[in-house]
Structure 1
Amino acid sequence: MLVSEVMLQQTPVVRVLPVWEEWLRRWPGPADLAREPAGEAVRSWGRLGYPRRALRLHAAAVAIGASHGGNVPDTYPELLELPGVGSYTAAAVAAFAFGRRETVVDTNIRRVHARLLSGSALPAQALTAAEMRLAAKMLPSDTGASVRWNASVMELGALVCTARSPKCGKCPVRSSCAWLAAGEPPPTYTPRGQSWHGTDRQVRGAVMAVLRVAEAPVAPELFQRAPADLGFEPLGISIPLAALHRLDPAPEQLERALAGLLSDGLAELHPGGFRLPA
């Protein structure tokens, strides 16, 4: 549950599922992951994006072995103490994995609350204290019912009360919906996705693709110049390296990407070049 919750952050289920299945096949328990170098977690993260999450899961696995006897803790406060685990993830794991009464508030739940109770087309652009108070107020006092409530509202938002083209005709609570009663007013802002093409994030991702398949440190000049210009063909990394060069990043952009990966702990610089963390 902890693995899936971290993987699903800002990433759709269809992309997560094959990586999650392979991850659990390889590392069925926290101790299995903790015994591996952190770089292996990053390598197995594949193209899910935001690979720092892989480092955090590895650090959490180490902490679980050191402080919890190898078992994922089952309470919100203990989960919150794990590296990289925030308030939402701690609440979701405590509720859905261990049946605890916790206030779980994700994007889907926020959207249902905004429409059903507040009459707004979309929730605020950032989670507010008022939203958390409302969610806590709505949570049933019975523990079992609270878990079912969290799951039900989340599914309602994911499958029916969607951000675009909500299926109001199929909604079981449409008669109580403040948004429908108000005449479906439009949102007060236009959600914007994060840009990708040409950004530092895209270059970072391309560099990470090279490091994930590299069996040895990658010389810095390989990131800057095509192998043909250097007079040799690097083994095993030709395809991702060519993809990086097709982006044709400016030298300063490539330098920022490499420096950022080092700063985030996603890469290490050795005498032979860059590699994933040991």
Structure 2
Amino acid sequence: MSVSSVLAWFDRNERPLAWREPDTGAWGILLSEVMSQQTPVARVEPVWREWMARWPDPAAFAQASPAEVLRAWGKLGYPRRVLRLLECAQQIVELHDGHVPDDVDQLLALPGIGDYTARAVACFAYGQNVPVVDTNVRRVHRRAVEGCYLAGAASKSELAAVAAWLPQDGRGPRFSAALMELGALVCTAGNPECGVCPLRSRCAWVAAGSPPPSAEELAKKKVQKFIGTDRQVRGKIMDVLRGADTAVPQSAIDVVWPDAAQRSRALYSLLEDGLAEQDERGYFHLPR
């Protein structure tokens, strides 16, 4: 792989994302990575700016209540992330004197921080040359090196494979960011723009004639539905709870979805996940 050609492409095409601004610290990077999980960047950026103005560091965020952060999270989706983030900030204050650690193992020990996020913080906040492997990077690697579509769940072996790509001359962290951008903008899942890709001349998938996915690969590429799912119903119930100043009766929840069994299942799952609570009157509210 030509590191220089990928970096030159990135120099020309890097998006001016808020958390790429030079003064963004480790807390801002961590926050952006958690928010961006399974959520488009365009939706994340305005919320990220609001949060950084309101909670500029882990100590400030650690003092917020669950209800406050759930309301501020709005419609970013997967709200359990924000409760784990609150626990994470509290542990950063308790165990690390309010400073986001730079060690991958210490980051992995924090609530809600997995392989990708820990390495993204170490790489993009602290300049460590560690493999940062999200879906975009996995897709680029699968096509460029293995000559096939991305299918199946992530595996630990991909960390080692991507680590072998990284230059050891100080350009590794920027190269990691470039690979992610390449997957997001050019080597996309449905319609890759191979004509403008800096890896075109070395891409195993292009060399193989850009073959379509096999039946087995298609079977592994499961598209996650949203409309009509319990996740959609959970979101509607959360909208009611976020918009209410006080606890709401069951009747306020009943109107959001016609299927009583699915509505009840979704509400129960919110209670189980700690995203909602029920008081002694039987009314429902965000956790306090």
Q: TM-score, normalised by structure 2?
A: 0.85
Q: Distance in 2 between matches of 1:46 and 1:29?
A: 20
Q: CA deviation at 1:253?
A: 1.2
- Identify the residue that residue 186 of structure 1 maps to in structure 2: 212
Is the aligned partner of 1:141 residue 2:171?
A: no
Q: What is the identity, as a one-letter code, of the residue corresponding to 2:139? A: R
User: Does the 8 A contact of 1:112 with 1:161 survive in 2?
Assistant: yes
Q: 2:110 corresponds to which residue? A: 82
Matches for 1:36-115 after TM superposition, within 5 Å: 36-115=64-143
* 1-structure distance, mates of 2:177, 2:252: 48
**1:274 and 2:284 aligned:** yes
Q: 1:133 is matched by which residue type in structure 2?
A: A
* Deviation for aligned residue 1:24: 1.2
Letter in 2 for 1:111: R
> Are the counterparts in 1 of residues 205 and 211 from structure 2 also a CA contact under 8 Å?
yes
Q: Which structure: larger Rg?
A: 1
Distance of 1:198 and 1:160 partners within structure 2: 32
Q: Which runs of 5+ in 2 are unaligned?
A: 1-28
Question: Which consecutive unaligned segments of at least 5 residues does structure 1 have?
Answer: 227-243
Candidates 38, 43, 50, aligned match of 1:10: 38
Please, which of 237, 243, 247 is the counterpart of residue 207 of structure 1?
237
Residue correspondences, number: 255
Q: Give the CA deviation at 1:209.
A: 0.2
Alignment of 1:207-226 (within 5 A): 207-224=237-254
Shift of 1:115: 1.1
Query: In the TM superposition, what is the alpha-carbon distance from 1:136 to its structure 2 partner?
Result: 2.0
Offset, 1:124:
2.8
Residue equivalent to 2:202: 176
Identity of aligned residues (%): 53
8 Å contact from structure 2 (residues 240, 252) kept in 1 = no
SS in 2 for 1:98: coil
Residue in 1 aligned with 2:26?
none
Report the equivalent of 1:153: 179
Q: 1:197 aligns with which of 202, 210, 227?
A: 227
Task: State the shift of 1:198 in Å.
Answer: 1.6
Instruction: After TM superposition, give the deviation of residue 207 of structure 1 in Å.
Output: 0.3
Cα distance, 1:132–1:124 mapped onto 2, change above 3 Å: farther
2:153 maps to 1:126: yes
Verify the 8 A CA contact 2:240 2:253 in the aligned structure 1. Answer: no
Residue 36 of structure 2 contacts residue 44 of structure 2 at CA under 8 Å; is this kept in 1?
yes
RMSD over equivalenced CA pairs, Å: 1.4
Return closer, same or farther for 1:75/1:130 CA change in 2, 3 Å cut-off.
closer
Q: What displacement does 1:20 show?
A: 1.1
Summarize deviations over 1:118-166 as a string: whole Å, max 9, x none: 111x223211343233112222234x22112211111111111111221
Q: Is the 8 A contact 1:52 1:264 kept in 2?
A: yes
Which digits, 9 at most, give the CA deviation of each residue in 1:50-74, with x for residues without a partner?
0001101111111111111111111
The alpha carbon displacement at 1:269 in A equals: 1.1
> If the length of structure 1 is used for normalisation, what is the TM-score?
0.88
Determine if the alignment matches structure 1 residue 257 to structure 2 residue 266: yes
Query: How big is the shift at 1:22?
Result: 1.2
**Any idea what the Cα deviations from partners look like across 1:148-197, whole Å, max 9, x if unmatched?**
22111111111111112211111112111111111111112333421112
